[in-house]
Amino acid sequence: MEKIVNQSMLRLVEGDITQETTDAIVNAANSGLMGGGGVDGAIHRAGGPKILEECKKIHAQMGQLPAGQAVITTAGNMKARFVIHTVGPIWHNGDRNEPEILASCYRESLKIAIENRCQSISFPSISTGAYGYPINLAAPVAVNTVINFLTGVYCHIPLLVRFVLFSSSVFDAYAEAVRANAIVQE
């Protein structure tokens, strides 16, 4: 499924983000930046030790990465050039500003991609695994935030944004959010 937004392209695919050939892939990391399970574990396994080396340096300089922020490292042995590590919100029934923090993850990742001259970027479904954010609530935040960014002033070059979704049920939730966004815009 795809949608043209300004001169940019939003595409949804089902797949494994470690196989992406976009300039950057986004990691759903944790504040310690030392790897973990889920997509974080898969990215560190596929990319090799160079990613963790850079994460350790960043952590030594900056300390814990707050939720909603993003940092960039090499992608090591993967085909992408960069990994952008962002920390999603842990779901607490929506009582702790989770939608705004989740939106910030997507915005900050897109900004850092543009600052590093990326023309293409792949996102996983941040926070919807171990961090427990309900998929039907996370998907519209993800899709609407990316579409708003692509229509905004910060996005001064055409970008390809891919959501790489790990199962058909996650894909379906994102597809529904893209359809709903078209209705909102009409």
Question: Hey, which residues are catalytic here?
Answer: 40
Among the listed ranges 16-24, 47-55, 69-77, 174-182, the one in contact with ligand AR6 (CB under 6 A) is 16-24
Residue of the chain from 16, 53, 100, 115 that contacts ligand AR6 (CB under 6 A)? 16
Q: Which two three-digit tokens encode residue 94?
A: 């929506």
What number of other Cβ atoms are within 10 A of residue 100's Cβ? 12
Size of the site for ligand AR6 (CB under 6 A): 24
Could you say which residues in the range 50-109 bind ligand AR6, by CB under 6 A? 88
Residue 117 to residues 72, 75, 121, 146, 163: CA-CA distances in angstroms?
Answer: 12, 15, 11, 17, 19
Tokens 């300390």 belong to residue: 63
Tell me whether residue 110 or residue 164 sits nearer to ligand AR6 (CB atom).
164
Residue of the chain from 8, 22, 128, 144 that contacts ligand AR6 (CB under 6 A)? 128
Verify binding: residue 140, ligand AR6, rule CB under 6 A. Answer: no
d(CA 26, CA 43): 9
